[in-house]
Amino acid sequence: MPVHTGIYRKTASFAAVFLVFGFFCGAACAKERAVPAAAAYQKANVILIILDALRPERLGCYTPSQDTSPHIDALAQRGVVFTNAFSQSHLTLPSVTSLFTSLYPFVHQTRHIFRDSVPEQAYTLAEVLRLQGYQTAWFGYLRDPHSGSAPGLLKGFEEGVEIRPERIFQWIEQNGEKPFFIAVHSYATHEKDFIGNQFENKIFARIPKSFLQKVEDARVNGWQGFQSDLRNKREGLYDFLGKDWIEQNWDLLMEPYSAERYKELMYRAPQSQQKLYMLEAVTGGLEKAFASYGEEATQGFLGFLDSALFDFDQNYMAGLHALLEKKGLDQNTVIVITADHGNEFFEHGRLGHLGPLFDESIHIPLIFHLPGHQESVVINDLAQSIDIFPTLLDLLGVPIPSQVQGISLAGVMADSPGANRHDYVYGQSVGGLLYIRSRQWKLILPGESLCYGTDTGAQLFDLTRDPQEKINLIAKKTRVAAKLRKKLRDRFGLCNDKKLFARPGN
């Protein structure tokens, strides 16, 4: 077994955080790791694919009537599919930080872009595998403040590469002789990326032309609003967008909207702030327009999403599968497919994932494709994003760091007696909402409600009778709510830190 002394490093500042929340490993942690490391895939390569904001039901392996993902489905046919997997938050930065560190958001406290950074003392999955001799690379948007440019998020990755399918394939061609770990974070399935895009595939051809025209009109209106801001608030935007950038691109910025001009300006934008501002200007108008279109908007939106997913499956997954087979790596590569979080499709009146922690925002796909495995195993046990880190290490036979708060799912996969299983899963929103969820019950509540015993802003749902989370039972099922509140409070010691949640009115 490889030496792993360094992965237990602690410094005073990070130790303080863990002591507050009661997370240093003792007997309790040993009990949680009762199942020995499976070690069935020692020195296997690992490919982690994160499809941003993708809900499970858009994939064919979760919904057989979907024809969006034939190559992903083929991998699932020789692996393990978790049907009840949940992310630790509803936005990318805290969710991916939890995935990479196996820490809950209220521990790593990396929630806000342009402000928070991943704690230096928190080991990432890439760091641990690199210590084991793995080559590591991350593919995504390097200027994205939610991922590629988030301070500390890519610790342990030797390379950060702007995402393109050919770059991933080239990297594997050049580095496939030694064990490697690569993470691919694609925004193809994020509404900011695909709304209004044109795809040349069978799914896009099904979207009514009348709806496509509405989408184009909404993009034009959004762009005109952006131009109005530039004309009327030009100096006020200098600090945010950069005076030089605005002046250098003024003529192009004032041109009528076209997809080509928009892409050219996005290409010219050197800073994340500029990209985000233009992105919101165009897609923000679309989202507002969609909200007024009713059911037509939902179906049209899903048409764009499914087209983007199919496009990713054809351009990335097909080529990846062919390359691994050609190089003989398919028999020695574990592939994990998941999402950072889910997305709302107007179930609660919103499009996107900025609202409360309803299941549509946190329910994610989780697929482990295991080399040599010849059948599909579907598991309904609860699982979390933070379980990916320890599960992979367990499968690889690598010691699991003491910081890890997830559990290895290897025992569940093998249906081993005494396997670690979740009775509850947990998470936190960027705004501080917390959730605790079992198979039947789900409690969403503000932190101050948790610590001071109020029901203000709290929501309780019986998921067996109300899977859409429409009927708030907080006033009727007080004992259930009290039990879940106590479980959440006692399990993590959240209310021990008086600075974490302020008393209402303070």
Instruction: Give the pTM.
Output: 0.86
The domain in which residue 179 lies consists of 77-185+340-422
Average pLDDT across the chain, whole number:
85
Domain boundary (266, 299, 332) is at 299
Residues 180 and 81 in one domain: yes
Domain boundary (373, 394, 422) is at 422
pLDDT higher than 70, residue 3: no
Residues 416 and 443 in one domain: no
Q: Is residue 501 part of a domain?
A: no
The number of domains in the chain is 3
Q: Which helix (H) or strand (E) holds 384?
A: strand 377-384
Residues 94 and 126 in one domain: yes
Residues 218 and 284 in one domain: yes
Q: Is residue 231 part of a domain?
A: yes
DSSP secondary structure letters along 73-135: HHHHTTEEEEEEEE-S-SSHHHHHHHHHH---HHHH---STTT----TTSPPHHHHHHHTT-E
Give the CATH number for residue 92. Answer: 3.40.720.10
Q: Is residue 150 part of a domain?
A: yes
Q: What are phi and psi of 194, to 5 degrees?
A: -100, -20
pLDDT higher than 70, residue 349: yes
Tell me: the pLDDT tens digits for 87-112? 999 999 999 999 999 999 999 999 98
Inter-CA distances, 422 with 26, 145, 160, 209, 405, Å: 19, 32, 34, 46, 12
Token pair listed for 185: 């974070």
Amino acid in the structure at residue 411: G
Range with the largest mean pLDDT of 10-19, 45-54, 247-256, 480-489: 45-54
Give 456's pLDDT tier (boundaries 50, 70, 90).
confident
DSSP secondary structure letters along 19-71: HHHT-S-SHHHHHHT-SPP--TTTT-EEEEEEETT--GGGSTTTSTT--S-HH
Residues 99 and 129 in one domain: yes
Q: Is residue 359 part of a domain?
A: yes
Contacts of residue 181, Cβ cutoff 8 Å, sequence gap at least 6: 45, 46, 47, 48, 125, 126, 129, 130, 134, 135, 136, 137
Domain boundary (380, 399, 422) is at 422
Mean of pLDDT values over 151-157: 96
Residue 379, SS3 per DSSP: strand
Q: Are 405 and 103 in contact (CB under 8 A)?
A: yes
- Round to whole Å and give the CA distance between 392 and 368: 9
pLDDT higher than 50, residue 396: yes
Amino acid in the structure at residue 284: G
Residues 438 and 418 in one domain: no
Give the CATH number for residue 456. Answer: 3.30.1120.10
pLDDT higher than 80, residue 496: no
Residues 181 and 216 in one domain: no
**pLDDT of res. 286:** 65
DSSP secondary structure letters along 237-291: GHHHH-HHHHHHTHHHHTSPP-HHHHHHHHHH--SHHHHHHHHHHHHHHHHHHHH
Residues 178 and 231 in one domain: no
Mean of pLDDT values over 70-84: 96
Residues 439 and 395 in one domain: no
**pLDDT of res. 492:** 81
Closest C-alpha among 84, 23, 35, 60 to residue 404: 23
Mean of pLDDT values over 215-241: 83
**pLDDT of res. 209:** 87
Q: Is residue 311 part of a domain?
A: no
Mean of pLDDT values over 152-171: 97
Mean of pLDDT values over 428-435: 90
Residues 416 and 458 in one domain: no
Q: Is residue 47 part of a domain?
A: no
Q: Is residue 294 part of a domain?
A: yes
Give 18's pLDDT tier (boundaries 50, 70, 90).
very low
**pLDDT of res. 114:** 85
Residues 156 and 108 in one domain: yes
Least confident among 173-182, 224-233, 430-439? 224-233
Residues 160 and 233 in one domain: no
Burial 19-52 (b: 16+ CB within 10 A, else e): ebbebebeeeeeebbebebbebbeebbbbbbbbb
Q: Is residue 474 part of a domain?
A: yes
Q: Let me know if 431 is exposed, middle or buried by CB neighbors in 10 A (0-12, 13-18, 19+).
A: middle
Give 37's pLDDT tier (boundaries 50, 70, 90).
very low
- Decide the pairing of beta strands 45-51 and 333-338: parallel
**pLDDT of res. 273:** 62
pLDDT higher than 60, residue 8: no
